[in-house]
Structure 1
């Protein structure tokens, strides 16, 4: 993992905490939330205030996330809004924190100038003893205040001021005036500079959770469904059907198609499908060469082409399927028809535009895991777990590629691969919420990419 850290591919863009004042504020907030303390004089934090160095010091990566269900957070600066979220338990958590910071940025900027802001992403459950408990999560509410309770005191002061103005003899009430003066010493003049940090609630109908090996829950789609990384029988009884696992490839393909959640890369608007397919083929070839202990050379495309010739008939089916598709795209072959059970099938798709785009691309990364670029971008937890199992040769190739081809232009790479980012108001647009309405069985009837004509 040191290679990834050195290249900025792991723990990248974290916020450094090194000034004594900020360290002390963090320690106070940490004690307030968890009762624990740190002896470190400098460390780094993610968007939630979690520090990998402190997690290592305590031997507890969940010191801000008890039971993995209600993530607590510490804000020292609004600059945390661009930091990643580490040790993700729910796919929606980073987006919720980012929206909370952005929508309250002016207030948080003023509050963090004097104190740390601490809070919690409150789920409707406190732990998940069974998979069925996860389906009780419908909404996440963000509540926060400074350690010195500036927000609470400001609300109290505003109430006293209102009372002072309403009561005819308020100016004679010495106790009321004394309370107002005492609170104003902490909050300042709230009539001129109001302090407010109201609770914010976010609906959570569709999400991924790392609990129980990884589960994708889709409730706000035309045809709800659940996809489990572990065998579906391990989930027991859950209130949403159908329940599928990653081996149910045909069922997943049909379900994604009926919900309009995916689109073929060769039909995706603005996508350079030939370039995307070639790169996927390179990733697959590198994995095959690594498994055979073949020298990758400089891993340039000519080097990889030589390896492909050397492997010959033993080339993986994923590679052959994508090669057939590439031949059609370039006008050098017939239209390929691959069933959902074909190993290359899910490499041919990306998520359709909409509010669930990132979640669907995350699922596709699990179904097409040799595409290491998509795996890194959309499912970092699985990428890091996979990285630990790779040979040093493959680790070097992947790290060099991501540093060279992705880090230099993250937004451009994401746009080229997945299209424009979903808008903030997508959830409120019925056409985006419900998705297009394809005819049932489209994939089975005309093949994985529809009735395309050149």
Structure 2
């Protein structure tokens, strides 16, 4: 894993904390939330304030996420909004935290100038020992304040100011005035510089959770379903409030689920992307996987080298590669359209999420269904990427790190837009071509 860390592909974009003042604030917040402190002189935090070094020191990787629900957080700087979320138990957690920081950025900037902000992502569930409890999660709300209660005191002072202004005898209430002065020493001038965090609530309808080996829960769709990553049956599955319970091996049923709810679309039908380039790259990844199994050295391999391997060992490549090759030929106008059913090993490699609110969740599911596509796996499902990486051979590890460093790290936004963007193409309308999924613009 050290190779990933060195390349910035693991623990990348964490915020370094080495100032004694910030460490002292962190310890106050950590003591406030967990009753623990750190003795480290420097460490790195993610968007929630979790530090892997502190987790190692405390021998508790969930010290800010007890039982994997109601994640706590420590904010030392608003710069944390760009950091990743480590050890995520729910797919929506990072997005919620980032939205909270961005919405309250001005207030948080002022608050973190003097203290740490500690908080918690709350829902009505405190234990998920049974999968049915996950279906009791419907809304996430955030509670946050400094370790000395600045936000609470500011609200109290604001109420005092209102009373002072509106009460008939407010100007003569010496006790009220004295209390206002005392609180103002802690909070500052809340009239000119209001210190208030917006109360925010977030719906939690469709999400992924790491609990029970990984579950995708879709409730706010036309045909709800639960999709589990592991083959073992869930405990008390009969008690779950969803009829359609699928496993990743249920390819036909998952394909029907995605289609019935309009959650995915064929890559060659998507607008605003270079479908042929995406298909070629997926084919290269499949070649790399096959080369690893064959013991072929991939050190320094270029795209030209990978495609030469495909020509030399075409008869040894899996069926998924050949299906994508036929689809590529059709997309480039050099072949007839292939019939790609959900039984075909390449089927999910030909899809991406449609343009809807849960597209990141669907792309995450598709990444798990297409593990040879290491780029989508890294972008959409890092937890699974890291787990699979441990078992890859050295040749594939070297290729993957080199590829992601060269092709993804250089322009993350551009790479994501090229793969998952839904912008209309800036070109003249092209004639329609009939293909496996109907008329396609190309």
Aligned pairs for 1:3-152 (under 5 A) are 3-152=3-152
Correspondence for 1:267:
269
Range with greater deviation from structure 2 (168-177 or 324-333)? 168-177
Range with greater deviation from structure 2 (6-15 or 229-238)? 229-238
Deviations 1:329-367 (Å, cap 9, x if unpaired)? Answer: 122221111220211000001000111110000000011
Q: Work out whether 1:2 is the aligned partner of 2:2.
A: yes
State the alpha-carbon separation in 2 of the partners of residues 380 and 343 from structure 1: 22
Deviations 1:46-74 (Å, cap 9, x if unpaired)? Answer: 11001111111111110000100010000
Correspondence for 1:427:
none
State the alpha-carbon separation in 2 of the partners of residues 192 and 360 from structure 1: 45
Deviations 1:130-161 (Å, cap 9, x if unpaired)? Answer: 11110100000011001110000011111222
State the alpha-carbon separation in 2 of the partners of residues 412 and 301 from structure 1: 20
Correspondence for 2:311:
309
CA contact (8 A) 1:264 1:448 kept: no
Figure out how many residues of one structure are paired with residues of the other and give that number.
430
State the alpha-carbon separation in 2 of the partners of residues 367 and 448 from structure 1: 21
Distance 1:49 1:353, change over 3 A: same
Deviations 1:94-128 (Å, cap 9, x if unpaired)? Answer: 00001101111111111111111010000210110
State the alpha-carbon separation in 1 of the partners of residues 213 and 41 from structure 2: 36
Correspondence for 1:381:
383
State the alpha-carbon separation in 2 of the partners of residues 378 and 409 from structure 1: 16
Q: Work out whether 1:352 is the aligned partner of 2:354.
A: yes
Provide the secondary structure at the position in 2 that maps to 1:13: coil
CA contact (8 A) 1:34 1:63 kept: yes
Provide the secondary structure at the position in 1 that maps to 2:120: strand
Provide the secondary structure at the position in 2 that maps to 1:216: strand
State the alpha-carbon separation in 2 of the partners of residues 37 and 447 from structure 1: 61
Provide the secondary structure at the position in 2 that maps to 1:227: strand
Provide the secondary structure at the position in 2 that maps to 1:275: helix
State the alpha-carbon separation in 1 of the partners of residues 438 and 231 from structure 2: 30
Range with greater deviation from structure 2 (120-129 or 192-201)? 192-201
State the alpha-carbon separation in 2 of the partners of residues 411 and 107 from structure 1: 28
State the alpha-carbon separation in 2 of the partners of residues 309 and 185 from structure 1: 75
Provide the secondary structure at the position in 2 that maps to 1:234: coil
Deviations 1:149-191 (Å, cap 9, x if unpaired)? Answer: 0000011111222223333333333322221111111011212
State the alpha-carbon separation in 2 of the partners of residues 395 and 267 from structure 1: 32
- In the TM superposition, residue 231 of structure 1 has moved relative to its aligned partner by 2.6
2:396 aligns with one of 394, 397, 406: 394
- Please, what is the CA RMSD of the aligned residues? 1.6
State the alpha-carbon separation in 2 of the partners of residues 452 and 37 from structure 1: 59
- In the TM superposition, residue 311 of structure 1 has moved relative to its aligned partner by 2.7
State the alpha-carbon separation in 1 of the partners of residues 16 and 200 from structure 2: 27
* TM-score (normalised: structure 1): 0.92
State the alpha-carbon separation in 2 of the partners of residues 297 and 334 from structure 1: 36
Q: Work out whether 1:369 is the aligned partner of 2:371.
A: yes
- In the TM superposition, residue 283 of structure 1 has moved relative to its aligned partner by 0.5
Distance 1:335 1:188, change over 3 A: same
Distance 1:453 1:203, change over 3 A: closer
Correspondence for 2:210:
210
Correspondence for 2:426:
none
CA contact (8 A) 2:299 2:399 kept: no
